[in-house]
A and B are shown apart, each in its own frame.
Chain A
């Protein structure tokens, strides 16, 4: 009985987590598509750490336009799928890829200058934590509990396995 209760609470918490992360991604994406002058150039050109050269390459004049468009669309995709609760595994995956890139472009490694951060970080920062949260969303989709996937629900209600 206690287990069933805590399962429901856990499911509901995951739904809320999914919506919050979706909210965050969607807002970032919307802000970028409504501001045509927004560009990731500065962020990429000042990249640090082991993959610095890869990110600097992305800041190249010829492809930066594509990079900006791809980034905004990926943000929107992750945001919409996570909020609506449909194709959320694909959305979570997109979010994981984006967050991994943000993390690696300015990794909070000792010895690297931390740009524009509001806290103090050592290897672990909020991007990494949000990334792990997205991994959980990927593993435990909740769209069938709250989301468009609810309508595709078959007879059997998916349940989070007992832990």
Chain B
């Protein structure tokens, strides 16, 4: 067959189309990859990897749990001890709800070299629940009537304290004085005076002291430290962080156990240093609602947000705090506010600046909380050059009027509406300039912390770190320094709300600046006129 031009066109006409499409795809992709790489190189942020931990080898650490309530049970699970009741509940949930993986995740959690040897709970049902689930022929768990009995028994190396706030410091101090290691839930203390005593006890003890801010193990926060240190955000002048809850559980109205009565609960022990009031189930199960035992939003939830940021910025105790709010969403007899705004001033705060020297210094940390609305407001760090949303995932947007990125924005390489950096511990690589799709999938919650491909809960990591330091030495992520800063900040906020005035910190003397005629601890613990039993 003789080839004509027409034949060639009909036979090979597809080739130039193929070439053109290939060329366009390659050029566009390589071009945008190059832009991404350029931005990432310019930012030079190093995503954090999980901390390597020395083995918890040798004989198991003997741990006792004080307080086997909601949080106590959670902590024991992270330690590798789940109750039979919970396992059964999760087994059924996994059958009913496809994708429910709580039991599977628990079963695949790494085993810690610990023995749970003792439990101390003043409510019989809870103590028995622990014994029933955890006692084995090899390890007969002992129930102790008081934390002191447990500490002086000689049978434990470490205790976990998950009690109401007013018992945190007395128990932790007793344990530390006896060189027993302590893991205490937040807030570290319930009043100012004991905060100093606990610090002294921790500094002088051979025991390892940790405050239960498990989020310090979250990989994104460690990467966020690098984001800030590298000057990615420029000078941060405002931080906005929030609590939003709108359910009974979130408002601390926990279930009241049907078998709770004066015979099953050691009421005097529960009260401890709190004012003597007659037996009251509401107070026992929902203690977070009263200043006598808890500390409301300032101690319970602000501490999380404060410590998260203190972990990233290491900003320490604010120079002053002003708080306002009230009981606006759950007027049920509680005397801690359920709506709280706290503005903390850090006038000397600086992590560097992209502008002329001396122009930028100081920051306000604004905490805003309500227990009457569940709209998720993100935590935002607002810098002159960029804004960072801080969560399990990190996202950084350049600011339209940034000095550092002015040229890139002008050249169209950056766009204030498009993130320049995104970090998601669940994916393998940091992502700059994400597409709408990947943005969406990241937001969908595919953001668990993975270690070697396994979903890991941060409380487990926090406990593992504590146990490793007990065995091998080293330092913990949230020790007495961090705990002291957290506790003082919480107490200053509580005081400011109660007094309706600015509370100041004297960093040199390390004291809250006194106010004539005001006994801070008395004010902080007082239930004032609104203590009516309900």
A residues with CB within 8 A of B: 19, 22-23, 26-27, 29-31, 34-35, 37, 41-43, 45-46, 52-53, 61, 79-80, 83-85, 115-116, 145-148, 150-151
Contacts and interface: CB of A to CB of B under 8 A. Distances in A.
Contacts of B14: 19, 22, 83-85, 146-148
Interface string B424-455: 00011101000011101110101000000100
Contact of B446 (A26, A42, A146, A147): A42
Given A116-B437, A146-B10, A80 B18 contact: yes
The majority secondary structure among interface residues of chain B is helix
Given A27-B24, A148-B12, 18 more contacts: A19-B17, A22-B17, A23-B17, A26-B18, A27-B21, A30-B21, A34-B25, A37-B428, A37-B431, A42-B441, A46-B441, A52-B98, A83-B17, A115-B440, A146-B10, A147-B14, A148-B11, A150-B10
23 contacts: A19-B14, A19-B17, A26-B25, A34-B26, A34-B30, A35-B29, A37-B429, A42-B437, A42-B438, A42-B441, A45-B441, A45-B446, A46-B444, A83-B17, A115-B440, A116-B437, A116-B440, A145-B10, A147-B10, A147-B11, A147-B13, A148-B12, A150-B11
Interface in B1-50: 7, 10-15, 17-18, 21-22, 24-26, 28-30, 33
Given A83-B18, A145-B10, A41 B440 contact: no
Interface of B: 7, 10-15, 17-18, 21-22, 24-26, 28-30, 33, 98, 427-429, 431, 436-438, 440-442, 444, 446, 453
A42 B434 CA distance: 13
A51 to B, nearest CB: 13
Contacts of B24: 27
Nearest to A45: B446
Contacts of A83: 14, 17-18, 21
Listed from nearest, the 4 A-B pairs whose CB atoms lie closest are: A30-B25, A42-B441, A34-B29, A150-B11
Contacts of A35: 29, 33
Contacts of B28: 31
Contacts of A34: 25-26, 29-30, 33
A46 B99 CA distance: 12
Contacts of A52: 98
A86 to B, nearest CB: 8
A91 to B, nearest CB: 12
Contacts of A85: 14
A143 B438 CA distance: 38
A29, A34, A79 pick with most chain B CB within 10 angstroms = A34
A84 B22 CA distance: 13
A29 B22 CA distance: 9
Nearest to B21: A26
Contacts of A116: 436-437, 440
A34 B24 CA distance: 11
Nearest to B427: A41
Contacts of B444: 46
A26 B22 contact: yes
Contacts of B429: 37
Given A23-B17, A46-B444, A30 B26 contact: yes
A22 B438 CA distance: 26
B15, B29, B33 pick with most chain A CB within 10 angstroms = B29
A31 B446 CA distance: 24
Contacts of B33: 34-35
Contacts of A61: 453
A9 B264 CA distance: 89
A113 to B, nearest CB: 10
Contacts of B442: 42
Contacts of B98: 52-53
Nearest to A19: B17
A79 B30 contact: no
Nearest to B31: A34
Contacts of B446: 42, 45-46
B422 to A, nearest CB: 12
A61 B7 CA distance: 50
A84 B437 contact: no
A147 B30 CA distance: 29
Contacts of A151: 7, 11
Nearest to B11: A150
A61 to B, nearest CB: 5
A93 B33 CA distance: 32
B21 A84 contact: no
B94 to A, nearest CB: 13
Nearest to A76: B22
Contact of B21 (A45, A79, A146): A79
A146 B15 CA distance: 11
Given A45-B446, A146-B10, A23 B21 contact: yes
A83 B30 CA distance: 23
Nearest to B23: A30
A96 B69 CA distance: 56
Contacts of A29: 25
Nearest to B16: A83
A35 B12 CA distance: 29
A130 B14 CA distance: 20
